[in-house]
Amino acid sequence: MIELQNISKQYNSIKAVNKLNIQIQAGQICGFLGPNGAGKTTSLRMLMNIIHPDEGTILFDGKEERPGAQHFGYLPEERGLYQKISVQETLNYFAHLRNVKDYHSKIDHILERFELRDRLHSKVSELSKGNQQKLQFINTILHDPDFVVLDEPFSGLDPVNQLLLKEILEDMKKAGKTIIFSSHQMGQVEKICDDVALINQGKLILSGSLSQIKREYGKTHLQVIPEHESDLDHEILKKNDAVIRAGAAYILLSEKDRSQLISRINSAFEIRTIKVAEPGLEDIFIQMVQADKP
C-alpha cells in the first residue's frame, strides 16, 4: 500500500501539487487521472523518488522508510529506452542496476511470453512502436517490483498485446502488488482499475472505488436513436433538454418519471433503439474537472 499524506510541490510561483492525500491499496490497480498539467507527472515523480516533495510524507506499507529502488517499477509515458543498444543490452543493464539475480533466465522467459525472443539482438531503434512499448513494459516489471507506476502503458499496442498486458496486470494484482495506472484513455481505466483518483490543479478532487464513484457521481442518461434522423428535432426531445450527439439523443434521467418518459417517447415517433445508458468515467471526469474550474 502507498499513502501520500499532504504532499506539496511548488515550482517558482506555481503549486504543482497542493496537499495531496491519496491511498493506493496493495493488490489493486488504481487509476490516476487528471487533465494535462494537473500535477500527475510531478506526483508520480515524487512517488518514484525522482523529485522530493516540499512537504508531506509518503508511506510504503505503512512505513515512512522508503524501500530500495529494486522494489519500484516505473514506465514513463512514451519512449524511455536507449535507442542505440540492443534489447538484450537494455534488459541486462537495468537488471544489473536493480540487482536482479539470475536475470538471464528471467529475460528469456518474459521475452518468450511477449513474443520478442527473436528480437533479443535487435537494436531498440529497429523495433516497431508496439514492440518498443512491450520492451519498456518488460523493463518495468522484470525485477518483480512491489510498487508499479504505469503511465499510458497501452500506447501503441495492438488489441492482442493489450490483452496480454491486461493478463499480466491481473497476475500482478493477485500477487499483491500495488499498481498505479495513469492514462487519458478512460475506457482502459474502466476496464482495468479497481480504484480511481482524480486530481486537478494539484489537488485531489475525487477518489474511491470505481463502482462507488459511478454510483455517486455518474448521471444516468436515456439514449434514444430514432429510425428517422429528422426526429432528432422532435418537440418532446427539446422539451426534455436532450443533447444530440452522433445521431443519438441523450436525456438526463431522474429516478421518478423514468418509465413515463420512455413510454411517451415511444409513442411520439418511430424508434430504432432506446436504452438507459450507464454513466461513463469520461463524463464524470469532464463534469468534475469543469466543476473544479476557478
Partner 1 sequence: MTFLKIAWFEYYRRIRSKWFIIGTFGMPVLILGISLLGGYLTGTGASIETKYMGLIDETGIYGQDLVAALDQRYDEEDVSPLNIMLTKGSFEALQVQFDALVKEHSLDGYFVIPADFNANPHLKFYAQSTGTMRSTDIVGAELRQLLTHDRAEALNLPLTALEELFVDIDIEHYELGASEARDTEELIAGYVAPFVFMFLLFLGIFTGGQLLLRAVLEERSSRVIEVLLSTVTYNDLMGGKIVGLGMLGLTQSAIYLLAGVIAGYYYDINIVTPAIGLLYFVYFVLGYLLYAGVYIGVGALFDSEQEAQQAIQIITFIAVIPMLLWTLVIENPNSTLVNALCYFPPVTPFFMMIKISVGETSVLQVLITIMIMIGSVYASIRLAAKVFRTAILLYGKRITLPEIVRWIKA
Residue 45 interacts with partner 1 (CB under 8 A): yes or no: yes
Cβ(205)–Cβ(199) below 8 Å: yes
Least Å distance, CB 203 to partner 1, is 22
Three-state SS at 119: helix
What is d(CA 55, CA 67) in angstroms, rounded to the nearest whole number? 20
Angle at 277 (CA atoms; ends 238, 258), nearest 5 degrees:
60
- The residue among 61 and 77 lying less far from partner 1, judged by its C-beta, is 77
Q: Which of residues 246-265 bind partner 1 (CB under 8 A)?
A: none
Of residues 59, 82, 261, 292, which one binds partner 1 by CB under 8 A?
82
Nearer to partner 1, 30 or 142 (CB): 142
Do 194 and 29 touch, CB atoms closer than 8 A? yes
Which region, judged by CB under 8 A, interacts with partner 1, from 46-54, 172-180, 186-194, 278-286? 46-54
Q: Which of 79, 215, 238, 264 binds partner 1 (CB under 8 A)?
A: 79
Candidates 78, 144, 194, 283: give the one binding partner 1 (CB under 8 A): 78
The residue (of 72 and 217) whose beta carbon lies closer to partner 1 is 72
Contact 195, 28 (CB under 8 A): yes
Pick the stretch among 87-95, 161-169, 219-227, 239-247 that binds partner 1 (CB under 8 A).
Answer: 87-95
Neighbours of 179 (CB within 10 A): 27
Residue whose C-alpha cell is 475525487 = 206
With binding defined as CB under 8 A, does residue 85 bind partner 1? yes
DSSP one-letter code for 185: -
177 binds partner 1 (CB under 8 A): no
Residue 46 or 206 with smaller CB distance to partner 1? 46
For position 97 contacting partner 1 by CB under 8 A, the verdict is: yes
Q: How far is the CB of 57 from partner 1 (least distance, A)?
A: 19
Among residues 14, 93, 112, 163, the one that binds partner 1 under rule CB under 8 A: 93
Q: What angle do CA 208, 76, 110 make, to 5 degrees?
A: 95
Residue recorded with cell 527473436: 118
DSSP, collapsed to helix, strand or coil, labels residue 289 as helix
Select from 86-94, 108-116, 261-269, 270-278 the region that touches partner 1 (CB under 8 A): 86-94
Binding residue count for partner 1, defined by CB under 8 A: 27
Binding mask 264-293 vs partner 1 (x if CB under 8 A, - otherwise)? Answer: ------------------------------
How far is 286 from 252, CA to CA, in rounded Å? 16
Q: Go through 61-76 and write b for each residue having 16 or more CB atoms within 10 A of its CB, e for each that does not.
A: eeeeeeeeeebbbbbb
Residue 175 within binding range of partner 1, rule CB under 8 A: no
Q: Which of 14, 37, 49, 276 binds partner 1 (CB under 8 A)?
A: 49
1 contacts 23 by C-beta, under 8 angstroms: yes
CA distance 286 to 290: 6
Interface ranges with partner 1 (CB under 8 A) = 45, 48-51, 69-70, 72, 74-76, 78-85, 89, 93-94, 96-98, 139-140
